[in-house]
Structure 1
Amino acid sequence: MSIEVRPARVFDDVATMLGPKRSPDANVCWCLSHRVDSRTNKELVGRARGEHVADLVGAEVPPGVLAYDGEEVVGWAGVAPRAGLPVARSTVIPTVDDEPVWSVFCVRVRPGHRGRGITRHLVEGAVALAREHGAPGVEAVPVDNRGEKVDLTMAFVGTRALFESCGFTVVSKTSSVTAGHPRVVMRRSLA
């Protein structure tokens, strides 16, 4: 296995990871639920969601990173400056300080490719993208599942163990719970 992580610049590959599987009009997340404000998220329906992501892919700063096994896209991580994300206005996830950190808010690996360490590659790729764009640090708000199984639907936030293995440390508790597990704010300094 030779995994390469690249900035998300190929819309078709982003669509493979995030888009609808059957109908292009289906109202799937497209990794926008944690990227845009609630009102925009509700207004973007059907094909408009994919069109919004296509715009993000073409922007100066890509919306995340993609993992490839050869030329096959196998994973995605959404990462962006925290200040522009809904998490910055959360009432259950505290803002630790005013550092302009970036946030990894979604990590996803395609079925058939899981259990091969691809999520670590994705987190490291997200950190590299943030560093390339001047971030002083990167945060995540994973579940603290203490080794218990996490429902795959909600596993997109990652686990404390995953982020610890990538050099992140806990900087704050939260009152947020996902899939029955508490979440913690973790950070990796890039200074």
Structure 2
Amino acid sequence: MSRISVKAATAECRADVQHALTGGGDGASCQCQWWTLTNARFSAATVEERCRMLHDEIGAGPPPGLVAYVEDVAAGWVRVGPRVRQPRLERTRAFASVSEQPWDDASVWAVTCFAIRKEHRGEGLNAALLEAAIPFARDGGARILEAYPIDPEADRRHTANSLFHGVLSTFLAAGFREVGRSRPDRVVVALDLDE
């Protein structure tokens, strides 16, 4: 892991965020705006508009996520921040029906999206990003860190691109506890940051 470093996605590293997002999967078209917009707004926005939204979000701060580097080259991204800034989560029945936390509580943060460049998959970047997301959330005032990983053991039909939520085993290894499931493969996990 010594070749991997992680830092907050600030205005100075917007190009690095783009490099991480455009290395395969849906990151290039989504621009990590899926959770921040309603379905109608997301569908109406062009890729260029979504790119501008992320650009502006990063520029305005606070950082909406973290960037992982392999030997100083951007290789991965994770969105982590207050749940209230990711309104689609509350509208997603699979999560809303399972979460134990009130949706208007700004001290509940969420890890919602990983994007790893194809050439760096399998190198432990999700674990490194998640490990860095925990103190990042705590330092940002989070009381609870929630996430919505996939359990590929419960449904092996998931492709690499469908695992942008992360996989359950990574979260369990980082100390998260399972809150519940809306389907056998859709899990809500949480980490109490006050402990």
TM-score interval w.r.t. the shorter chain? 0.7 to 0.9
Instruction: Indicate whether 1:96 and 2:100 are aligned.
Output: yes
Cα drift, residue 131 of structure 1: 1.1
1:155/1:5 Cα in 2 relative to 1: closer, same or farther (>3 Å)? same
Of 148, 167, 189, the match for 2:175: 167
The reply to whether residue 17 of structure 1 matches residue 25 of structure 2 is no
Moved over 4 A (4+): none
Shift of 1:153: 1.3
Greater relative contact order, per chain length (Cα 8 Å cut-off, separation 6+): 2
Q: Is this contact kept in 2: 1:20–1:28, CA < 8 A? A: no
Identity %: 29
Secondary structure in 1 aligned to 2:94? coil
Q: Secondary structure at the match of 1:157?
A: coil
Q: Which runs of 5+ in 1 are unaligned?
A: 22-26, 176-180
Q: Is structure 2 residue 72 aligned with structure 1 residue 57?
A: no
String of CA shifts for 1:156-187, please: whole Å, max 9, x gaps. Answer: 11111111011111012224xxxxx6211001
Deviation at 1:16, TM superposition (A): 1.1
Q: Secondary structure at the match of 1:187?
A: strand
Task: Count how many residue pairs are aligned between Structure 1 and Structure 2.
Answer: 181
**CA offsets 1:116-153 (integer angstroms, 9 cap, x no match):** 21110111122222111100021111112228473011
Instruction: Please show how residues 76-155 of structure 1 align to structure 2 within 5 Å.
Output: 76-85=77-86, 86-93=88-95, 94=97, 95-98=99-102, 100-146=107-153, 148=156, 150-155=158-163
Preserved contact between residue 19 and residue 50 of structure 1 (Cα < 8 Å):
no
Name the TM-score, length of structure 1 as normaliser. 0.86
Whichever residue aligns with residue 160 of structure 1, its letter is: L
1:67 maps to 68
CA distance in structure 2 between the partners assigned to 1:55 and 1:39 by the alignment: 20
1:161–1:115 CA distance, 2 compared to 1 (3 A): same
Quick check: which one's helix share is greater?
2
Instruction: Give SS of 2:113's match.
Output: strand
Distance 2:125 2:42 in 1: 28
TM-score (structure 2 length as normaliser): 0.84
Instruction: State the alpha-carbon separation in 2 of the partners of residues 92 and 76 from structure 1.
Output: 24
Q: In structure 2, what residue type is equivalent to 1:81?
A: P
The range that moved more, 61-70 or 142-151, is 142-151
- Find the aligned partners of 2:151 and 2:22 in 1 and give their Cα distance: 28
1:5 aligns with 2:31: no
SS in 2 for 1:28: helix
Shift of 1:19: 4.5
Q: 1:186 aligns with which of 185, 189, 192?
A: 189
Partner SS for 2:180: strand
